[in-house]
């Protein structure tokens, strides 16, 4: 009986080992197949579906006074126009793509921020939908706001590009391109929301909600004509606070907001731009109109740039204008608010002359001198109470892509 039990146990053990060995062989084979497939996928991803690129700008600027144009003063700065950015795009198929862009700016202590992060899908009829954090397409160069190499100037005109409190939004957009005989028409619609930090040009923290816009562009090899219109609601904007001495006893005892907080105000932004560029000439201009309810500034702005290509060098001149057009609406403010609201009334002209030198593909050096003047009775939209009627900024900049 004992022999029978032992024999049965041995046979069972041998049989079990045989089955286990068979299972292990199959598992190894499956694992090898999976590794092979994964290796192929990784190799394919590295070569064809993932594209990583970067861009950087290093700049030094200095002004002849402390008016603060583009953030520059007599101390000079390496930070205002210097930045580093990286972008990764994952495109596993012709239809689907995902992308993310991070930018670290010197003026923001090099803290990296996500400027765009989205997934997109292109349908067979050429309609492309994207969702996520997207660039706000207000300007002709909105897609290249931080990519200095793609811009002709050392700095995009402050009068147009420097007055919008947000440059990205979180939402969706739809692009549809129509091919004509020798040109294209692109239609873009978008909607979403975005938070507004006190680092913005508006100077207050809040939110921009219910953003709805439409952009239409026509372009061919030389010409681009573009128009956009956007509406939005600015909500819950709180401005920084300051202590004041209401009793005039030398002891600050009351906290007051530098401007009245905003619960909800609607606004609109319209732009129109034209660009022509051939082997020799660059002619480019944009006009914008901002309208906001309440005491926030309504403004008109625009610029015209003329450049001429001389091999790798392109000298350029540029004229820009900025002015508020609703100054009387801030007359109702009183006390400290009336004083601080003076920063919301401004006007100035800016004249720039500069040169772009393309050292090699992907690397350009730029020199720029900008003279801003015609402030009138305002601070020119610059540092409040600067007391200047003009300012000149000198800039040297290197832009690179890699």
Please provide residue 46's backbone torsions phi and psi, each rounded to the nearest 5 degrees: -60, -40
End-to-end CA distance of the chain: 82
Among 213, 123, 129, residue whose Cα is nearest residue 169: 213
pLDDT score for 291: 94
pLDDT score for 168: 94
Q: Say how many C-beta atoms besides its own lie within 10 A of residue 6's C-beta.
A: 10
pLDDT score for 342: 75
Q: Is 350 exposed, middle or buried (0-12, 13-18, 19+ CB in 10 A)?
A: buried
The beta-strand segments (E) located in 71-222 are 83-90, 96-105, 112-122, 127-135, 168-179, 184-196, 204-219
Please provide residue 259's backbone torsions phi and psi, each rounded to the nearest 5 degrees: -140, 150
Q: Is 280 exposed, middle or buried (0-12, 13-18, 19+ CB in 10 A)?
A: exposed
Ramachandran sector of residue 71 (left: φ over 0; alpha: ψ -120 to 50; beta: rest): left
Quote the DSSP letter at residue 294: T
Which helix (DSSP H) or strand (DSSP E) does residue 230 occupy?
Answer: strand 223-239
Quote the DSSP letter at residue 47: I
Query: With contact defined as beta carbons under 8 Å apart, do 324 and 298 qualify?
Result: yes
pLDDT score for 317: 98
Query: With contact defined as beta carbons under 8 Å apart, do 347 and 327 qualify?
Result: no
pLDDT score for 8: 45
Query: With contact defined as beta carbons under 8 Å apart, do 396 and 80 qualify?
Result: no
Which CA distances in Å does 328 have to 250, 333, 349? 34, 10, 21
pLDDT score for 5: 43
pLDDT score for 15: 46
pLDDT score for 46: 57
pLDDT score for 14: 43
pLDDT score for 139: 93
Which helix (DSSP H) or strand (DSSP E) does residue 368 occupy?
Answer: strand 363-373
pTM score above 0.85 = no
Residue 185 sits at the vertex; the CA angle it makes with 184 and 188, to the nearest 5 degrees, is 135
Q: Say how many C-beta atoms besides its own lie within 10 A of residue 388's C-beta.
A: 20
Q: What is the mean pLDDT of each run of 10 residues along the chain (402 residues)?
A: 44 46 65 67 65 96 96 96 96 94 94 95 95 95 93 96 89 96 96 82 80 97 97 86 67 71 90 96 97 90 97 97 90 70 89 98 98 94 89 98 95
Structure tokens at 290: 């901002």
Query: With contact defined as beta carbons under 8 Å apart, do 356 and 313 qualify?
Result: yes
Q: Say how many C-beta atoms besides its own lie within 10 A of residue 169's C-beta.
A: 25
């Amino acid at each position: 009986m004992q022999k029978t039990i032992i024999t049965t146990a041995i046979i069972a053990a041998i049989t079990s080992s045989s089955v286990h060995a068979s299972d292990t062989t199959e598992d190894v084979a499956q694992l090898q197949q999976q590794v092979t497939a994964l290796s192929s996928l990784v190799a394919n991803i590295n070569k064809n579906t993932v594209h990583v690129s970067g861009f950087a700008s290093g700049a030094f600027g200095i002004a002849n006074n402390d008016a603060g144009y583009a953030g520059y003063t007599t101390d000079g700065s390496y930070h205002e126009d210097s930045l580093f950015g990286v972008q990764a795009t994952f495109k596993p198929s012709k239809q689907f793509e995902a992308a993310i862009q991070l930018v670290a700016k010197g003026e923001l202590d090099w803290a990296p921020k996500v400027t765009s992060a989205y997934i997109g899908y292109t349908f067979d009829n050429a309609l492309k939908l994207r969702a996520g954090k997207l660039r706000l397409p207000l300007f002709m160069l909105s897609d290249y706001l931080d990519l200095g190499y793609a811009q002709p100037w050392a700095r995009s005109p402050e009068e147009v590009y420097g007055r919008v409190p947000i440059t990205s939004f979180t939402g969706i957009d739809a692009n549809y391109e129509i091919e004509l005989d020798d040109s294209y028409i692109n239609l873009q619609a978008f909607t979403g929301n975005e938070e507004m930090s006190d680092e913005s040009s508006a100077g207050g923290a809040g939110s921009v909600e219910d953003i709805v816009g439409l952009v239409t562009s026509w372009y061919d090899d030389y010409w681009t004509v573009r128009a956009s219109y956007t509406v939005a609601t600015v909500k819950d904007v709180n401005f920084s606070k300051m202590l004041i001495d209401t009793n005039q006893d030398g002891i600050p005892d009351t906290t007051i907001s530098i401007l009245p907080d905003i619960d909800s105000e609607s606004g609109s932004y319209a732009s129109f731009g034209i660009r022509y560029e051939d082997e020799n000439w660059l002619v480019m201009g944009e006009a914008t109109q901002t309208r906001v309810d309440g005491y926030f500034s309504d403004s008109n702005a625009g610029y015209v740039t003329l450049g001429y290509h001389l091999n790798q060098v392109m000298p350029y001149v540029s004229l820009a204008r900025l002015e508020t057009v609703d100054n009387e609406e801030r007359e109702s403010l009183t006390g400290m608010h009336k004083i601080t609201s003076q920063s919301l009334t401004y006007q100035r002209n800016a004249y720039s002359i500069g040169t772009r030198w393309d050292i090699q593909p992907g690397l350009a050096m730029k020199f720029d001198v900008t003279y801003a003047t015609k402030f009138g009775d305002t601070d020119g939209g610059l540092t409040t109470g600067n007391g200047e009627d003009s300012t000149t900024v000198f800039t040297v900049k290197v832009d690179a892509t890699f």
